[in-house]
């Protein structure tokens, strides 16, 4: 499937991206959507490569697969489920059918209930025995944590509701640290778990309930649940009026648009949350209607495929020059790696190409003083994805924001241009001579020709955040569709869960480690002797 592209890549292997940068390239290799701009001109993709990449979409039937997803077909074939997180932001988009049933009335009804509850928490009409709610603790993990947490940090300037905390790790340090700062009589605990069985979440939920029970008469009254399993939430003692359900066609890592976003909605208010949904919906509309060449998610996906499957770069770095997107790389790690980190294609046959890349990153400028050294001079190429806003929210500190933007643009320029040996010699000339000059100059060479994309937008508003998240979701869809894999299951997390359950009695000392491999048995022995 990638043979033609690989031969195109081989032919231009030594070409400098910089040399392509003439005439109208920047415009031609950019996509504008509303107030957002994706610039992928600092990659080694030319017109011919782009056509060949776009041909992949037709070869893989991406348009048909897209229609199947939006049409409610069970495209998550290993679990027999539709994939319809887009319905959660389909505010005024008409009916969406799953198995002949329009799911929109249910979606809008839950949204309405969430808004009613969020307003009540925010205006104090829902209160604890000690008074209005001051702290909301969201207990969840994976998709039931990363989305609302990333969103709450991103939208901090819009945060005018109670304080929000996120507990995910089963490590007691996590919940203990959060509860220590909360008044149980004025805290709302939201148990966010699609399945309501995830051991980390249920363990933390029980700990929170016991903590609350020590201080208030009816702890269950200060709990809400976000789950598809209404029976289990009932058994936990949460009144159905505070249970916000969703259906199995919302995958965990795609779920922040619905009930899983409740803590974010309480933080920023229903209006801002709706603006976030509208941003997502705008990206959906663009994704289904724009031609491939002007289609932001599709082209971002093709840039990813070019770098990973064609050129073989194993990772990609997400580098937001936007401090409030600090958790975006973590969010995208789950979104992209849990979706496209698969070894077989939909029919179960071994994948003949590489699966999705390793995704990592940190906000700039911090990363510049940490790992950019390797990005600039390491022996492996790391395609970089920059994100940057024209304005921050700190108008009085706009001069600092300008410095941030200058750094962002300078990095992509430096990655592309690099510094030649001659330029490096000039840098050290006068300080060194002869062999020492050569030696010193060699350390100061930057190979350059390192690709990057930049996503630029006016300001990180709720609407822009919605566009960004939906952009990446559809990018994951397109990459998965081209690779022919199921982006919507996650069997790879199961084995560890099963073995952890089996190991618990061994760790507790009620079973011995016989039958375990030598390393595992040895580690259990060491940790038990050391106080486990
Ligand atoms: O273990 C992986 C996973 O299933 C993720 O896909 C999901 O986001 C997370 O666990 C949490 O699941 P739940 O919401 O059911 O607790």
Residues 19-61 pLDDT 10s: 999 889 999 999 999 999 999 999 999 999 999 999 999 999 9
Place 518 in a pLDDT band, splitting at 50, 70 and 90. Answer: very high
Across the strands, what pairs with 83? none
**Cα–Cα distance for residue pair 406/415, rounded to 1 Å:** 14
**Mean pLDDT score across all residues of the chain:** 97
User: 228 CB contacts (<8 Å, ≥6 apart)?
Assistant: 194, 195, 196, 245, 246, 247, 248, 250
pLDDT in tens, 372-431: 999 999 999 999 999 999 999 999 999 999 999 999 999 999 999 999 999 999 999 999
Strand partners, 427: none
Q: How far apart are CA 289 and CA 300, in angstroms?
A: 16
Arithmetic mean of pLDDT, 463-486: 98
Q: Supply the residues annotated as catalytic.
A: 338, 369, 497
What per-residue confidence (pLDDT) applies to 507?
A: 94
Provide the residue count of the chain. 532
Asked whether residue 514 carries a pLDDT value surpassing 90, the answer given is: no
Mutate to test the pocket of ligand 1, among 194, 244, 330 (most ligand atoms within 8 A of CB): 194
Distance CA 306, CA 57 (A): 13
Checking DSSP bridges between strand 163-167 and strand 135-139, what pairing results, if any? parallel
CB contact at 8 A, 448 and 419: yes
Ligand 1 pocket residue status of 147, Cβ below 6 Å: no
Taking the C-alpha atoms of residue 80 and residue 226, their distance in angstroms, rounded to an integer, is 22
> Residues 296, 298, 299, 300: is their CA dihedral positive or negative?
positive
List all residues 6 or more positions away from 186 whose beta carbon is below 8 Å from its beta carbon.
127, 128, 130, 131, 132, 133, 134, 135
- What's the pLDDT at 70? 97
User: Pairing state of beta strands 36-39 and 452-457?
Assistant: antiparallel
Is pLDDT of 224 > 90?
yes
Segment 116-151, tens digit of pLDDT: 999 999 999 999 999 999 999 999 999 999 999 999
- Quick check: 442 pLDDT over 90? yes
Tell me what the mean pLDDT of segment 497-505 comes to.
93
- Sign of the CA dihedral with 246 first, then 250, 251, and 256 last: negative
DSSP conformation class of 241:
G
- Residue 1: the pLDDT is 82
Given a cut of 90, whether residue 228 has pLDDT beyond it is no
Long-range contacts of 98-101 (CB under 8 A, 24+ apart): 98/72, 98/247, 98/249, 99/72
Of 79, 85, 141, best ligand 1 pocket probe by most atoms within 8 Å of the beta carbon: 141
Distance between Cα 318 and ligand 1 center (Å): 23
pLDDT of residue 85: 98
**The pLDDT of residue 22:** 85
Closest ligand 1 atom to residue 227 Cα is 14
CA distances from 482 to 90, 100, 476 (A): 25, 28, 10
How many A from CA of 339 to the centre of ligand 1?
A: 12
CB 253 near ligand 1, within 6 Å:
yes
Q: Which residues pair with 468 in a beta bridge?
A: none
* Confidence label for 93 from pLDDT (cuts 50, 70 and 90): confident
Query: Would you say 453 and 276 are in contact if contact means Cβ atoms under 8 Å apart?
Result: no
- CA–CA separation, 173 vs 176, rounded Å? 5
Residue-wise burial string across 440-463, b where 16 or more C-beta atoms lie within 10 A, e elsewhere: bbeeebbebbbbbbbbbbeebbbb
For the ranges 177-186, 333-342, 491-500, the lowest mean pLDDT is seen at 491-500
Q: 295-327: per-residue pLDDT in tens?
A: 999 999 999 999 999 999 999 999 999 999 999
Cis omega before residue 365 (within 30°)?
yes
Instruction: Give yes or no for a contact between 61 and 466, defined as CB atoms under 8 angstroms apart.
Output: no
Q: Could you give the dihedral angle defined by the CA atoms of residues 89, 194, 338 and 353, in that order, rounded to the nearest 10 degrees?
A: -80
For residue 301, what pLDDT is reported?
Answer: 98
For residue 224, give Cα distances in angstroms to 110, 160, 258: 14, 20, 14
Give this prediction's pTM.
0.97
Residue with the smallest CA separation from ligand 1 atom 3 is 142
Average pLDDT over residues 79-96: 96
- On the question of pLDDT at 292 being above 90, the answer is yes
**Ligand 1, atom 13: nearest CA belongs to which residue?**
193
What pLDDT score was predicted for residue 360? Answer: 98
Ligand 1 pocket test, candidate residues 81, 142, 250, most atoms within 8 A of CB: 142
CB atoms within 10 A of CB 271: 11
Supply the residue whose CA is at minimum distance from atom 9 of ligand 1: 142
In whole angstroms, what separates CA 200 from the centre of its chain? 20
Rg (CA), the chain: 25
Handedness of CA 270, 274, 275, 279 (dihedral sign): positive
- Going from the Cα of 390 to the center of ligand 1, the distance in angstroms, rounded, reads 35
């Amino acid at each position: 499937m990638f043979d033609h592209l690989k031969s195109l890549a081989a032919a231009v292997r030594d070409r400098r991206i910089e040399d392509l940068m003439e005439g109208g390239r920047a415009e031609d290799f950019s996509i504008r959507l509303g107030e957002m701009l994706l610039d992928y001109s600092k990659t080694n993709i030319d017109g011919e490569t782009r056509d060949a990449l776009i041909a992949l979409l037709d070869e893989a039937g991406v348009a048909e697969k897209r229609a199947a997803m939006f049409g409610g077909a069970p495209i998550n074939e290993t679990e027999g489920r539709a994939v319809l997180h887009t319905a959660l932001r389909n505010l005024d988009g008409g009916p969406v059918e799953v198995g002949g049933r329009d799911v929109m009335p249910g979606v809008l009804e839950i949204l309405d209930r969430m808004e009613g509850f969020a307003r009540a928490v925010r205006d104090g009409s829902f209160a604890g025995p000690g008074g209005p709610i001051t702290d909301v603790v969201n207990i969840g993990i994976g998709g039931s944590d990363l989305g609302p947490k990333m969103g709450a940090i991103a939208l901090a300037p819009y945060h005018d509701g109670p304080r929000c905390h996120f507990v995910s790790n089963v490590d007691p340090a996590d919940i203990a640290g959060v509860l220590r700062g909360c008044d149980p009589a004025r805290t709302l605990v939201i148990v966010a778990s699609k399945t309501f069985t995830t051991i980390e979440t249920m363990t933390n939920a029980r700990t929170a309930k016991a903590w609350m029970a020590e201080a208030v008469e009816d702890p269950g009254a200060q709990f809400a649940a976000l789950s598809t399993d209404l029976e289990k939430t009932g058994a936990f003692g949460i009144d159905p009026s505070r249970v916000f359900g969703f259906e199995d066609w919302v995958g965990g890592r795609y779920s922040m648009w619905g009930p899983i976003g409740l803590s974010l909605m309480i933080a920023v208010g229903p209006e801002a949350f709706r603006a976030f949904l509208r941003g997502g919906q705008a990206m959906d509309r663009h994704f289904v209607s724009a031609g491939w060449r002007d289609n932001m998610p599709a082209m971002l996906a093709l840039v990813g495929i070019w770098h990973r499957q064609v050129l073989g770069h194993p990772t990609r770095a997400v580098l937001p020059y936007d401090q409030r997107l600090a958790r975006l790389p973590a969010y995208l790690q789950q979104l992209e790696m849990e979706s496209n980190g698969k070894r077989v294609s939909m029919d179960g046959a071994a994948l003949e190409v590489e699966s999705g890349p390793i995704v990592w990153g940190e906000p700039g400028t911090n990363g510049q003083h940490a790992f950019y050294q390797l990005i600039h001079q390491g022996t492996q190429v790391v395609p970089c994805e920059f994100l940057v806003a024209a304005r921050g929210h700190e108008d009085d500190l706009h001069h600092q924001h300008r410095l941030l933007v200058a750094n962002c643009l300078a990095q992509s320029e430096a990655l592309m241009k690099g510094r030649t040996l001659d330029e490096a010699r000039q840098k050290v000339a006068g300080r060194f001579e002869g062999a020492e000059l050569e030696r010193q100059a060699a350390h100061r060479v930057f190979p350059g020709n390192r690709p990057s994309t930049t996503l630029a937008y006016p300001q990180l508003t709720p609407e822009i955040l919605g566009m960004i998240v939906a952009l990446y979701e559809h990018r994951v869809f397109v990459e998965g569709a081209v690779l022919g894999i199921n982006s919507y299951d996650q069997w790879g997390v199961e084995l560890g869960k099963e073995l952890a359950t089996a190991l618990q009695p061994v760790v507790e000392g009620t079973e011995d480690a016989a039958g375990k491999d030598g390393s595992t048995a040895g580690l259990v022995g060491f940790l038990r002797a050391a106080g486990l």
